[in-house]
């Protein structure tokens, strides 16, 4: 029996026997195993079981065993080996519009010639947009006979992409992954005499992080840190003509063939000098905080009639007009790898229409010391639904002056410039050292907040002092933690942590952001003492923004709305449904869940300061605006992070907020004044919804407002008067 089956049977047994205590742990285990099954579901054997050998090789009668070292199987006719079959997604990332891989079985013979490509599984919305799937699969027949050996050696004529209008990204991903995965397999097995890439010998180069200066635009161009590709309309037309596509050649973008078609610039901004010169100090600092171990960043900037960005990323989240190439690896960027910039900061830069930052994922194994290329795809319509395409290359290599060489006699644990610095210190250690002041300030703030909570009985006796302390702390949270330090927690952090527990937990990943790490640690402790309110009510920058704006709204006499209890109570669950939806999607695709997590406006408002595409800005404003009339509107009804924190908050060990038996029966003062309506008409506090503002505790001790305290005070005064 499988481990999953064991879990299921044990879970049923516990439920039948009423042993509920361990059920939750088993559910978590079952979810983890389910996620692991999903990760490894797309293996070669699953597709070979339903495949016919003769479809891939003429007269083939069986597949061999899958190689122990590579996910590749030989294909035989009797005892004669005809070639190999493999899955493209086992060798090259093949994520398409859907956020899921496009799986294709690829067959290659012993001479390095492609024999067959079959699309076996995909989740692309091709049919939904009105394009017959057959139109896509027919393109795969064009790969039959392609010489992978010549392609790998660079002796084959440039490959022409025959894309289908409306499915350009899908076709490009398929084309790219078929060819690059085939090259990798051909190298592994030495097909057609192709040799495997030799392991580099001699000293290895990494970025020298110690070189930190600024260059003007001309200096960056002259030293080669920034590379340029400039094409006129005439040059593009000539390229189509040379590619025997006269129809596309006769359809220029402008009547004036001397017009600039595109002027494209590319630079690796992970290099300190290049990054600070192009991005400016503040943006470079934000970039370094964002980069994870093994990640790098490039800036692309352009002008002219043609935009390298296109519009595909708006519809499907993927940039379909360019990709980054290095060796046999390629990177096609998604919108979550992207940030739009206002301008290039270097002195002397020309006016550029598009300036964009792209993050190179760690799994690409990008080498910053080796040459890399931006491959630009240019298309022109040749019919009502068809286009002709060409590619143009812009190559770049980090100048030697910004590199350090590590001798092979002293091997390093990692040669990635984002995992070590010039002294061999891990990046997370470097980040903690670099943010020493911020860490100290945060530690002091958490100490103050802990003092407030532990000694709240003393503090709440002075309503004015309590209010002033709270407002000052919220101002610190918004401006200090939020807009200055960008220490805004997100539900994405929770989803990533859950995913990491299944796919391979690495403390270094979470230690990269010291402030967030400390905040999460403090939140974990606070959940046991006070529930979600410690973070949501005091340490969340977006929450602080809502509350401070509402206080200003009250000062200028903006009317305040209090929803009827019945409606308010039914709106509470929305945030829990949002969180559960995101969690469910993350089991299927973490990247898709991260995209959907834009339901949190935190990134737009706190991290990017509203410098973002207009749909995100409008959405953020729509989330903030109701808070002017309804206190903490987003926190109450929509915040998935608040919902995620409320669930484990049920485990809290103490009840700090005291109640009288008269609360709710008949007194409703606390309930009426609670800013998020977390107090039920019956008088009890719903700690899942409480933001721990301490207002009810102030009222609980107020001898002028609380009826119970008024009676006690009057009784005490009579006792004193009577001696």
Q: Which of 128, 129, 124, 122 is nearest to 165 (CA)?
A: 129
- Predicted pLDDT at 385: 60
Instruction: Please state the rounded mean pLDDT for residues 441-462.
Output: 89
Helix pair 427-434, 436-454: axis angle to 10 deg:
70
> pLDDT at residue 248 above 90?
no
Higher-confidence position of 35 and 45: 45
* Span 455-475, pLDDT tens digits: 888 888 888 898 999 999 999
User: Hey, what are 581's tokens?
Assistant: 């939806």
Higher-confidence position of 131 and 607: 607
Give residues with Cβ within 8 angstroms of 238, minimum separation 6. Answer: 249
> pLDDT at residue 548 above 90?
yes
Phi, psi (deg, nearest 5) at residue 19: -85, 80
Instruction: Provide the 10 A C-beta neighbour count for residue 614.
Output: 7
Instruction: Please state the rounded mean pLDDT for residues 697-722.
Output: 78
Instruction: Please state the rounded mean pLDDT for residues 511-540.
Output: 86
- Predicted pLDDT at 430: 61
Q: Are strands 322-326 and 329-331 parallel, antiparallel or unpaired?
A: antiparallel
> pLDDT at residue 716 above 60?
yes
* Span 667-676, pLDDT tens digits: 888 888 888 8
- Of 66-80, 156-170, 550-564, the poorest mean pLDDT is in 156-170
> pLDDT at residue 540 above 70?
yes
Q: What is the mean pLDDT of the chain?
A: 80
DSSP assignment of 214-246? ---HHHHHHHTSEEEEEEEHHHHHHHHHHTT-H
Q: Please compute, for residue 552, the number of CA atoms within 13 A of its CA located in the half-sphere on the CB side.
A: 10
Is the sign of the CA dihedral 370, 371, 374, 375 positive or negative? negative
Q: Which of 439, 413, 419 is nearest to 366 (CA)?
A: 419
Terminal alpha carbon distance of the chain: 82
> pLDDT at residue 41 above 60?
no
- Predicted pLDDT at 184: 87
Higher-confidence position of 361 and 264: 264
Are residues 296 and 360 in contact, defined by beta-carbon separation less than 8 angstroms? Answer: yes
Output the pTM of the full model.
Answer: 0.48
SS3 at position 486: coil
- Predicted pLDDT at 428: 61
Query: What are the boundaries of each domain within the chain?
Result: 3-39, 44-193, 204-406, 430-710
Are residues 89 and 579 in contact, defined by beta-carbon separation less than 8 angstroms? Answer: no
Give the CA distances from residue 100 to residues 43, 192, 312, 645, in Å, rounded to whole numbers and listed in that order: 14, 33, 17, 29
Phi, psi (deg, nearest 5) at residue 229: -120, 120
Distance of CA 648 to the CA centre of its chain: 24
Q: Which of 564, 257, 600, 206 is nearest to 400 (CA)?
A: 206
E strand or H helix that includes residue 111: none
Are residues 247 and 387 in contact, defined by beta-carbon separation less than 8 angstroms? Answer: no
Q: Please give the Cα distance from 382 to 368 (Å, whole number).
A: 39
> pLDDT at residue 8 above 60?
no
Q: Please give the Cα distance from 594 to 583 (Å, whole number).
A: 10
- Predicted pLDDT at 84: 95
Q: Which of 334, 374, 321, 323 is nearest to 97 (CA)?
A: 334
SS3 at position 689: coil
Reduce the secondary structure of 644-709 to three states and give it as a string. HHHHHHCCCCCCCCCCCCCECCCECHHHHHCCCCCECCCCCECCCCCCCCCHHHHHHCCCCCCHHH
* Span 592-604, pLDDT tens digits: 787 788 899 988 8
Q: Are strands 403-406 and 296-303 parallel, antiparallel or unpaired?
A: unpaired
Instruction: Please state the rounded mean pLDDT for residues 578-598.
Output: 83
Give the CA distances from residue 157 to residues 151, 160, 295, 656, in Å, rounded to whole numbers and listed in that order: 8, 9, 33, 75
* Span 53-65, pLDDT tens digits: 999 998 899 999 9
- Of 373-382, 404-413, 482-491, 567-576, the poorest mean pLDDT is in 404-413
Higher-confidence position of 5 and 282: 282
User: Hey, what are 264's tokens?
Assistant: 């494209």
* Span 163-174, pLDDT tens digits: 554 445 567 667
Instruction: Please state the rounded mean pLDDT for residues 414-436.
Output: 52
Q: Please give the Cα distance from 110 to 191 (Å, whole number).
A: 5
> pLDDT at residue 138 above 90?
no
- Predicted pLDDT at 396: 93
- Of 313-327, 347-361, 476-490, 551-565, the poorest mean pLDDT is in 313-327
Are residues 103 and 97 in contact, defined by beta-carbon separation less than 8 angstroms? Answer: no
User: Hey, what are 164's tokens?
Assistant: 């289908």
Q: Side by side, which strands form the sheet with 114-121?
A: 62-66, 72-77, 80-87, 103-109, 114-121
Q: Please give the Cα distance from 371 to 155 (Å, whole number).
A: 19
User: Hey, what are 249's tokens?
Assistant: 């050649």
Q: Please give the Cα distance from 219 to 571 (Å, whole number).
A: 58
Helix pair 541-555, 614-624: axis angle to 10 deg:
60
> pLDDT at residue 4 above 60?
no
Q: Which of 567, 261, 547, 532 is nearest to 390 (CA)?
A: 261
Are residues 338 and 356 in contact, defined by beta-carbon separation less than 8 angstroms? Answer: yes
Q: Please give the Cα distance from 527 to 533 (Å, whole number).
A: 8
Question: Whose structure tokens read 């410039």?
Answer: 417
> pLDDT at residue 155 above 50?
yes
- Running DSSP on this structure, what letter comes out for residue 129? G
Instruction: Please state the rounded mean pLDDT for residues 202-225.
Output: 83
Q: Are strands 354-360 and 296-303 parallel, antiparallel or unpaired?
A: antiparallel
Q: Side by side, which strands form the sheet with 322-326?
A: 329-331, 322-326, 372-381, 387-396
Q: Please give the Cα distance from 193 to 174 (Å, whole number).
A: 26
Instruction: Please state the rounded mean pLDDT for residues 394-418.
Output: 65
**Which of the four pLDDT bands, split at 50, 70 and 90, describes residue 135?**
low
CB neighbour burial string for 471-491, b if at least 16 within 10 angstroms, e if fewer: eebbebbbebbbeebbbbbbb
> pLDDT at residue 709 above 60?
yes
- Running DSSP on this structure, what letter comes out for residue 666? T
> pLDDT at residue 74 above 90?
yes
What is the percentage of the chain residues whose pLDDT exceeds 90? 30
- Predicted pLDDT at 12: 43
Q: Which of 91, 96, 93 is nearest to 122 (CA)?
A: 96
Instruction: Please state the rounded mean pLDDT for residues 614-622.
Output: 90
Instruction: Please state the rounded mean pLDDT for residues 6-26.
Output: 43
Q: Please give the Cα distance from 370 to 262 (Å, whole number).
A: 26
Q: Side by side, which strands form the sheet with 296-303?
A: 226-232, 260-268, 296-303, 354-360, 338-340
Distance of CA 141 to the CA centre of its chain: 36
Q: Please give the Cα distance from 272 to 288 (Å, whole number).
A: 10
Are residues 235 and 242 in contact, defined by beta-carbon separation less than 8 angstroms? Answer: no
- Running DSSP on this structure, what letter comes out for residue 351? P
Are residues 723 and 717 in contact, defined by beta-carbon separation less than 8 angstroms? Answer: no
Higher-confidence position of 541 and 681: 541
């Amino acid at each position: 029996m499988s481990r999953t089956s064991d879990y299921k049977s044990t879970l049923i047994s516990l439920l039948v026997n009423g042993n509920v205590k361990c059920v939750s742990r088993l559910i978590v285990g079952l979810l983890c195993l389910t996620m692991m099954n999903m990760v490894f579901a797309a293996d070669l054997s699953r597709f070979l079981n339903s495949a016919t050998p003769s479809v891939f090789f003429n007269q083939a009668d069986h597949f061999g065993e899958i190689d122990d070292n590579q996910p590749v199987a030989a294909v035989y006719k009797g005892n004669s080996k005809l070639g190999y079959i493999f899955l493209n997604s086992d060798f090259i990332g093949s994520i398409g519009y859907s956020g899921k891989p496009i799986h294709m079985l690829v067959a290659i013979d012993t001479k390095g010639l492609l024999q067959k490509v079959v699309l076996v599984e995909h989740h692309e919305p091709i049919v939904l947009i009105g394009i017959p799937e057959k139109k896509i699969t027919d393109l795969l027949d064009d790969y039959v006979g392609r010489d992978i050996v010549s392609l790998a050696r660079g002796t084959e004529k440039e490959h022409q992409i025959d894309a289908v209008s409306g499915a350009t990204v899908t076709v490009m991903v398929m084309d790219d992954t078929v060819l690059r995965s085939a090259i990798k397999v051909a190298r592994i097995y030495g097909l057609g005499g192709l040799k495997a890439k030799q392991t580099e010998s001699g000293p290895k180069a990494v970025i020298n992080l110690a070189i930190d200066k600024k260059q003007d635009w001309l200096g960056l161009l002259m030293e080669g840190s920034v590379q340029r590709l400039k094409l006129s309309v005439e040059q593009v037309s000539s390229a189509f003509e040379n590619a025997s596509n006269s129809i596309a050649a006769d359809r220029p973008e402008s009547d004036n063939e001397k017009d600039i078609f595109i002027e494209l610039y590319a630079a690796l901004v992970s290099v300190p000098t290049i990054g600070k010169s192009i991005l400016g100090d503040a943006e470079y600092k934000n970039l370094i905080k964002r980069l994870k171990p093994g990640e790098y960043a490039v800036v692309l900037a352009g002008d002219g009639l043609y935009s390298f960005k296109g519009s595909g990323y708006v519809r499907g989240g993927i940039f379909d007009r360019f990709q980054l190439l290095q060796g046999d690896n390629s990177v096609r960027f998604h919108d979550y790898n992207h940030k739009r910039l206002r301008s290039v900061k270097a002195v002397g830069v020309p006016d550029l229409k598009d300036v964009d930052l792209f993050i190179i994922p760690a799994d690409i194994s990008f080498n910053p010391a080796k040459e890399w290329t931006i491959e630009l795809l240019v298309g022109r319509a040749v019919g009502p639904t068809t286009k002709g395409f060409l590619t143009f290359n812009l190559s770049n290599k980090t100048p030697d002056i910004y590199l350090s060489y590590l001798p092979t006699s002293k091997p390093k644990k990692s040669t990635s410039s984002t995992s070590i610095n010039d002294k061999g210190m891990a990046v997370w250690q470097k980040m903690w050292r670099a943010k020493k002041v911020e860490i100290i300030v945060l530690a002091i703030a958490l100490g103050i907040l802990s003092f407030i909570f532990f000694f709240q009985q003393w503090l709440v006796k002075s309503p004015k002092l309590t209010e002033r302390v709270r407002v000052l702390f919220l101002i610190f949270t918004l401006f200090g933690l939020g807009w200055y330090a960008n220490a805004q927690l997100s539900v994405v952090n929770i989803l990533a942590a859950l995913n990491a527990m299944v796919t391979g937990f690495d403390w270094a990943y979470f230690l990269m952001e010291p402030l967030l790490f400390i905040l999460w640690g403090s939140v974990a402790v606070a959940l046991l003492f006070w529930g979600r309110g410690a973070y949501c009510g005091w340490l969340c920058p977006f929450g602080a923004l809502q509350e401070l704006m509402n206080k200003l709204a009250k000062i200028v006499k903006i009317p305040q709305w209090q929803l009827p209890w019945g409606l308010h109570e039914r709106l509470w669950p929305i945030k829990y449904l949002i969180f559960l939806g995101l969690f469910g999607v993350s089991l299927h695709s973490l990247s898709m869940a991260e995209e959907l997590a834009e339901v949190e406006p935190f990134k737009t408002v706190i991290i990017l300061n509203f410098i973002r595409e207009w749909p995100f800005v409008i959405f953020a404003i729509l989330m903030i605006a109701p808070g002017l009339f309804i206190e903490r509107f987003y926190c109450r009804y929509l915040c998935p992070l608040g919902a995620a924190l409320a669930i484990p908050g049920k485990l809290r060990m103490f009840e700090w907020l005291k109640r009288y038996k008269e609360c709710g029966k008949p007194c409703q003062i606390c309930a009426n004044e609670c800013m998020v309506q977390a107090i039920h008409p019956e008088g009890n506090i719903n700690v899942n919804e409480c933001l721990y503002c301490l207002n009810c505790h102030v009222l609980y001790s107020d001898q002028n407002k609380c009826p119970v305290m008024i009676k006690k005070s009057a009784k005490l005064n009579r006792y004193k008067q009577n001696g």
